[in-house]
Chains A and B, each alone.
Chain A
Amino acid sequence: MSRSLQDDPVVVTGIGAVSSLGATAESLWQGVTAGTRGIGELSLFETASHRTKLAAQVDTNALPQQFAHMSRADRFGCTATAAAAQNVPKDLLQSGRTGVFFGSSTGALFEGERFLHKLLNNEEGDLHSIVGLQNDGPGNAVAKQFRCGGPVITYSTACTSANVAIGAALDALHSGEVDVAIAGGADELCEITYAGFNSLRAIDSDPTRPFRKDRKGLLMGEGAGVLVLERRSQAIARGATVLAELVSAGRSCDANHVSAPDPEGRGAVAAINQALQEGGLSPDDITFVNAHGTGTPHNDVSESKAMNAVFGDRAKSLPITSTKSMVGHLLGAAGGIEAVLTVLSIQHRLLPATAGDTPSDPELGLDVVLHEARALPTSNVGISTNLAFGGNNAVIVLRSPRHSSPGDRAPEDNRSPEGQRSQ
């Protein structure tokens, strides 16, 4: 790479999302800023044998038919990518200079369950339905569908998968290995993970309440979140809209417990600090947090301790939100959709509220955005955190585009921050 990272940072030029709030990033943004919960009774499989009934399930009727032959996760990934990459020239997209960096923790496990069910009944299932069964299914589906010839890699680090993938994409762009990176994640609901989290008593039987005093657990969701990343010089040269800058990433491991977070949040602190250090930032630079915020008693305590350790007294006034309260926990895709929402927060200078009616937990010592979306400053640096099974922690940092030039287009919403409060 001939230009320094400072001169030629990695920027976001496309976003795509599939969630229980719809098949587009726009529907997602409208939903979360309105405080809409995309939560309902599961219809994907029979819930009578499970402890809970709720989830944030994607309505596949809203998805394009183009990918209907695929598994749910593949379909989510390709739908989100189609939107994110719609303005990338075909010759660039379909080249060895475009890579796919994806996270997934389920692959096509729902379809795999249906296949196994048939086997157990001495029937043959549809082999085609499980071509994406392994965790690399969504990433491979995206690479094949959009004919990308560069590196394709899938990370499966449970709930940090997509954030890890986005960090890897950043490395590949920094090193000059690729010119375009499609980065994010896709996951689908399935019985095994639904039952598994229920077996841990980790799922709330009511809509999840992250950072609330009465929080009782998470709510599972499904979908995809995808960013198109490229170096700023290329984005400007091709006239692309720069939505945000991807500054840095950080990763760490608690090395403490297979499923519970470090009670003091030490691993999360290490990941945040690494991200800040690699981005040349101090804690004071951060203007908002899109938190992991699962709503489980342990996660929210651990994460709040990490925030307090990193930001000190400022944690009490640093706006933090959990968008999982509206779209659920997308597991391996959580980092993807939360990255999309972090970009949208930067673009619109607005942080969605954490849905719910009850007060936040004062013992957490956080400034949780409640009741309505909150206006952000003109220029922002946001972090998106994910914590996972295996003691995994992964953080990414996004900021408002810098160094405006004729190639950059202004953010879509130029209203004053005061004018952007959600109704």
Chain B
Amino acid sequence: MTNGTNNQVVVTGIGCLGPFGLGIDALQQALATGVATTSDIDRSAGYHRNGSATQVAATGELDLTPWLSEDDGRRMSQFSQHAVTCARMALGHAGLAEIPSERTAVTIATAFGPGGFTERLALQVLQKGGKFASPFLFTDCVANAAAGQIAIATGARGANLTICQREAGPLLAIAQATNDLRLGRADVCLAGSVDELQPLSYAILDRFRALARPTARDGKTEELPRPFDTQRNGYLAGDGGTILVLERDQHAKARGARVLARVGDSARAFDPTAPRTGHGRDSAALAARLQERLGPQLRTVDTVISSASGARRGDALEAEILRTVLPKLPQVLAPKSVTGEFGGGTLGAAMLALIGTNFGKPQGCTQPDPNIGIELADGLIHAQHILCSAHAAGGVSSWLTFSQP
């Protein structure tokens, strides 16, 4: 992606929802507790095996009517509903009542797309036959449905992109949007991540041993995500959405917008040693790539918003890279312990760390893995320069920096 700072991009708004509820304040409260809001995954369809993971950080029933009429909502999947809600919330937060339609782009990352509609359509086709497929389900079950619905809801006629790169998607989406803004293709971009996790996707992730399983500690057996912890054994699957309003600096200034953060540069790389559904071992190559792309900016990083989620190998890979590029390791946060994996919670956490927020000690992280040697920070965090990282199962890594305005 484009380097340089002469054509700066800023964040002026955020909209988010997830297991923590609606909006940045709800996310802030959840992060302060260090505790994820979880529930039992619905096992009624029979997809799950005995002994599988049971907990999910699912977005519950939310009142979306301030952003989405009931009529509009009925025409969309939950995935699209959440995307449109986050987009409108973000525009409201940014004070952008009207967008420059032709100059507004949308870039959304998703790992699973509209899982609910896709599963329902699949069951129609496989159980009843192709003639029973619903056109209503089909048109909103493509991965880019959310980005398209955002465009229809907001009138954004610029580039409309959807990136599918699992856990690395949210940072790649922000980097893509930033690049398009810097190249002058748009003045405003709604960028972020939306995901809808359904029991079927959950059951498949569990079969690949991606999800946290119950572990005994202090006389209790709990199924918790434990980033960088000695007993980590998988992540907490979750869903939700986070969308940022990105603007060209001069556009934000011209309208007197409040700036939440300045977007820095990004890096991305692939580790061919990674198995198709897991993390690889070539941390040296990934670190070299990160250093090559972001070298000077790394020296000023005072806070890392880590992708650590409790994944056994993924967390170790993350630690190896951080220790290589940041010998004096700054404070490290792992917000996925609260938001769950998927839904872009790390983007919201990054904005809150810049604004100044209390981060609670993650519930499951009381025994730092001595082989990793990272103890997660807690308390009031007021970051100046943030490095966000993400390492996706399958080998893709991405990094992005944010700074104070």
Question: Which residues of A line the B interface, CB within 8 A?
Answer: 47-51, 94, 96, 99-100, 104-105, 107, 113, 115-117, 119-120, 122, 127, 130-136, 140-141, 143-144, 147-158, 164, 168, 171-172, 175, 177, 191-192, 194-200, 251-259, 267, 270, 274, 388-392
Contact in complex: A135, B164 (CB < 8 Å): yes
Contact indicator A154/B159 (Cβ below 8 Å): no
B174 to chain A, nearest CB (A): 13
- Contact partner of A136 (CB less than 8 A), chosen from B102, B124, B156, B164, is B164
A151 to B165, CA, bound (A): 11
Contact check, A192 vs B125: say whether CB atoms are below 8 A apart: yes
Residues in B with CB closer than 8 Å to A141 are 276
B126 at the A/B interface (Cβ < 8 Å)? Answer: yes
Among B148, B165, B269, the residue within 8 A (CB) of A253 is B148
Contact across chains for A391 and B148 when beta carbons are under 8 A apart: yes
- Whether A253 and B133, one on each chain, are in contact in the complex, defined by CB atoms closer than 8 angstroms, is no
Could you pull out 28 A-B pairs where Cβ atoms are within 8 angstroms? A104-B164, A105-B143, A116-B200, A119-B46, A120-B123, A122-B46, A131-B276, A132-B276, A134-B111, A134-B112, A143-B395, A144-B394, A149-B271, A150-B270, A151-B269, A152-B270, A155-B161, A164-B161, A192-B138, A195-B131, A195-B138, A199-B134, A200-B138, A253-B106, A253-B156, A255-B151, A267-B157, A391-B151
Establish whether residues A134 and B396, one from each chain, have CB atoms under 8 Å apart when the complex forms.
no
Contact between A157 and B277, CB atoms less than 8 A apart:
no
Residues of B within 8 Å of A198, CB to CB, are 130-131, 133
B272 touches A270 (CB 8 A): no
Given A164-B161, A195-B125, A196-B121, the answer on whether A389 and B148 have CB atoms closer than 8 Å is: yes
State whether A149 touches B270 (Cβ < 8 A).
yes
Q: Known: A144-B274, A390-B147. Contact between A127 and B121, CB under 8 A?
A: no
Of A131, A155, A256, the residue contacting B152 (CB under 8 A) is A256
User: In the docked arrangement, what's the CA distance between A107 and B208, Å?
Assistant: 17
Docked-complex contact A252 and B204, CB < 8 angstroms: no
Closest beta carbon of chain B to A144's beta carbon, Å: 5
- Asked if B403 is an interface residue, CB under 8 A from chain A, the answer is no
Write the chain A residue with the least CB distance to B126.
A117
| A105, B142: Cβ atoms closer than 8 Å | yes
User: For residues 157 through 193 of chain B, which have their beta carbon under 8 Å from a beta carbon of chain A?
Assistant: 157-166, 172, 176, 179, 183, 185
Chain A residue at minimal CB-CB distance from B4: A175
Decide if B394 touches A136 in the complex (CB within 8 Å): yes
Q: Is the CB of A136 within 8 A of B159?
A: no
Q: Are A143 and B270 in contact (CB under 8 A)?
A: yes
Expressed in whole angstroms, the minimum distance between the Cβ of B66 and any Cβ of chain A is 22
Complex contact B162–A155 (CB within 8 A): yes
In the assembled complex, which residues on chain B have CB atoms less than 8 Å from the CB atom of A149? 269-272, 285, 289
Q: Given the complex of chains A and B, what is the CA–CA distance between A372 and B288 in angstroms?
A: 53
Is B217 part of the binding interface, using a Cβ–Cβ cutoff of 8 Å? Answer: no
Please, which residues of chain B bring their CB within 8 A of the CB of A255? 101, 151-152, 154-157, 160
Is B135 an interface residue, CB under 8 A from the partner?
yes
Other-chain residue from A151, A168, A199, A389 in contact with B145 (beta carbon distance below 8 A) = A389
When chains A and B are docked, how far (Å) is the Cα of A392 from the Cα of B157?
9
Name B270's closest neighbour in chain A (CB-CB). A152
Classify the interface of chain B: helix, strand, loop or mixed. Answer: mixed
Contact A135 B143 (CB under 8 A): yes
- Considering the chains assembled together, what is the distance between the CA atoms of A192 and B122 in angstroms? 6
Partner of B204, one of A133, A135, A256, A389: A133
For B341, the chain A residues whose CB sits under 8 A away are none
Question: Counting CB contacts under 8 A, is B215 at the interface?
Answer: no
B256 CB within 8 Å of chain A: no
Q: Which residues of A contact B396 (CB under 8 A)?
A: 136, 140, 143, 152-153
| Nearest CB of A to B187, in Å | 14
Given contacts A196-B133, A254-B157, A392-B160, 17 further A-B contacts (CB under 8 A): A117-B126, A136-B166, A136-B394, A144-B274, A150-B268, A152-B268, A157-B144, A157-B161, A177-B293, A195-B124, A199-B138, A252-B157, A255-B101, A255-B156, A257-B152, A274-B185, A388-B144
CB–CB A171/B126 < 8 A? no
* Complex Cα spacing A143 to B273, Å: 10
By beta carbon, the residue of chain B nearest A130 is B204
Q: Whose C-beta in chain A lies nearest to the C-beta of B275?
A: A131
B118 within 8 A of A: yes
What separation, in Å, do the CA atoms of A219 and B213 have in the docked complex? 46
Chain A CB within 8 A of B347 CB: no
Question: Are B160 and A251 closer than 8 Å at their CB atoms?
Answer: yes
- Verify A156–B144 contact, CB threshold 8 A: yes
The 8 Å CB contact of B139, one of A113, A147, A389, is A389
In the complex, A105 Cα to B137 Cα: how many Å? 16
The answer, yes or no, to whether B331 is at the interface (CB within 8 Å) is: no
Q: Judge if B127 is at the interface, Cβ distance under 8 Å.
A: yes
Q: Is the CB of B208 within 8 A of A156?
A: no
Q: Which chain A residue has the least Cβ–Cβ distance from B119?
A: A116
Contact across chains for B151 and A151 when beta carbons are under 8 A apart: no
Of chain B, the residue at the smallest CB distance from A394 is B159
B269 pairs with A270, CB closer than 8 A: no
Is the C-beta of B3 less than 8 angstroms from some C-beta in chain A?
yes
Are A49 and B269 neighbours in the complex by a CB distance under 8 Å?
no
Chain A residues with CB below 8 A from B196, complex form: none
* Cβ–Cβ contact A192 & B118, under 8 A: yes
Q: How far in angstroms is the closest Cβ of chain A from B81?
A: 13
Known: A147-B272, A150-B270, A156-B162. A171 touches B125 (CB 8 A): no
- Whether a CB of chain A sits under 8 angstroms from the CB of B253 is no
Question: A140 — which chain B residues lie within 8 A by C-beta?
Answer: 276, 394-396
**Chain A residues whose CB sits within 8 angstroms of the CB of B124 once the complex forms:** 195
Instruction: Give Cα A199–Cα B101 distance, bound, in whole angstroms.
Output: 32
**Cβ–Cβ contact B127 & A153, under 8 A:** no
In the bound complex, residues from chain A placing their C-beta under 8 Å from that of B2 are: 175
Q: Looking at the complex, which one of B141, B157, B288, B392 makes contact with A270 (CB distance below 8 Å)?
A: B157
A49/B129 in contact, CB under 8 A: yes
Q: Which residue of A lies closest to B125 (CB)?
A: A195
Closest to A96 in B: B289
B131 touches A51 (CB 8 A): yes
CB A385 to nearest CB in B, in angstroms, measures: 15
Q: Chain B residues with Cβ under 8 A from A270's Cβ?
A: 102, 157
Q: Does B207 contact A (CB under 8 A)?
A: yes
CA A248 to CA B185, docked complex, whole Å: 13
* Distance to closest chain A CB from B114 (angstroms): 11
Among A104, A117, A153, A274, max chain B CB count under 10 A is at A153
Alpha-carbon distance between A172 and B175 when the two chains are bound, in angstroms: 12
Flag if B138 contacts A196 (CB, 8 Å). Answer: yes
Q: Does B1 contact A (CB under 8 A)?
A: yes
Q: Does B318 count as interface, using CB distance less than 8 angstroms?
A: no
Contact of A390 among B123, B129, B160, B163 (CB under 8 A): B160
Check if B140 is an interface residue, CB within 8 A of chain A: yes
Contact A258 to B139, CB < 8 A, known contacts A150-B270, A175-B3, A253-B148: yes
Q: Are A96 and B285 in contact (CB under 8 A)?
A: yes
Known: A196-B141, A253-B148. A51 touches B130 (CB 8 A): yes
Please give the distance in Å from B13's CB to the nearest CB on chain A.
Answer: 19
Chain A residues contacting B158 (CB-CB under 8 Å) are 251-253
